[in-house]
Chain A
Amino acid sequence: MDVPLFLLFAAIAVACGVNLVVQTHPVSSALSLIGVMGALAVLYLLLGAEFLAAAQLVVYAGAIMVLFIFVIMLLNAGGEKKSRNRPRLAAALGIPLLMLFLGIISFLIQRRVPSSMTVTFGGFTGGGPGDLGRTLFTGYLLPFEAASVLVLIAILGAVVLGRKEID
């Protein structure tokens, strides 16, 4: 049952990712990004990361994407105009080279990662909130505090940038 689930949600993630890149309207891109995040949350569950799957949905698909949609709505962003002078060589070679790059990367990963390394649902049970919290508040306490300072600075920065009289 693992393989069909993985293939289904990986296909959803890749399709939504492609849609994000090709859509010209930002709202379509934002909805595609929410699709990617939902599919990735399911894959996190398959990998045994229960807490992160929930956090992915709440923080990413909930909070961050609402912020994006809010800004799109606030700025009344429409479809984007064509770029003025895009080199024709880059436009012709871009997608084939991207495909080639992905092929090489996939080949290298297949070669380097032994096929004995497999993922089965339930093979890792240490991803619950309790285990995560214990590791976070013992071994990673200093990075945790640094992250709190980072978030504080981000709040201050957003408030300063959002003031009315800035120019």
Chain B
Amino acid sequence: MNAVPLSWYLILSAILFSLGVAGFLFRRNIITVFMSIELMLNAVNLAFIAFAYQLQQVDGHIFALFVMVVAAAEAAVGLAIILTVFKNRTTLHIDEVSSLRN
């Protein structure tokens, strides 16, 4: 009873990723949608590190590190875009930001 099956880690990763997808689709606040993306990236990181453990190689950790770098860059640019959208539209509701739809 001392060893956790690897599949449990992968299932946890799948659950967190699906929660991120659900939040991305259901929520209407642009900031919450953005946080759902971060949740998905975290879930992918967990899968990377679980496989790195199984293969006994540090390469998976490097990939997770790069995902963190990309997430940080994405958060900086995305939040700047959110600020600009709010400045021009004074709304954070996704349905009201639809000028590219039609």
Contacts and interface: CB of A to CB of B under 8 A. Distances in A.
Contact of A135 (B19, B58, B92): B58
Contacts of A150: 69-70, 73
A136 B83 CA distance: 35
Interface majority SS (helix, strand, loop, mixed), chain B: helix
Contact of A109 (B11, B74, B84): B11
B42 A151 contact: no
A110 B92 CA distance: 41
Most B-side CB within 10 Å, residue of A63, A77, A153 = A77
B100 interface: no
Given A20-B39, A60-B42, A117-B5, A135 B29 contact: no
B65 interface: yes
Contact of B79 (A6, A51, A68): A68
Nearest to A64: B75
Contacts, number: 232
Question: Interface size for chain A: under 10, 10 to 19, 20 to 34, or 35 or more residues?
Answer: 35 or more
A68 B84 contact: no
Interface residues of B, number: 69
A162 B77 contact: no
B53 A33 contact: no
Interface of A: 1-3, 6, 10, 13-14, 17-18, 20-21, 23-24, 26, 29-30, 33, 36-37, 40, 43-44, 46-49, 51-52, 55-56, 59-60, 63-64, 67-68, 71-72, 74-75, 77, 80-84, 94, 98, 101-102, 105-106, 109-110, 113, 115, 117-120, 123-124, 126-127, 131-132, 135-136, 139-140, 143, 147, 150-151, 153-155, 157-158, 161-162, 166-167
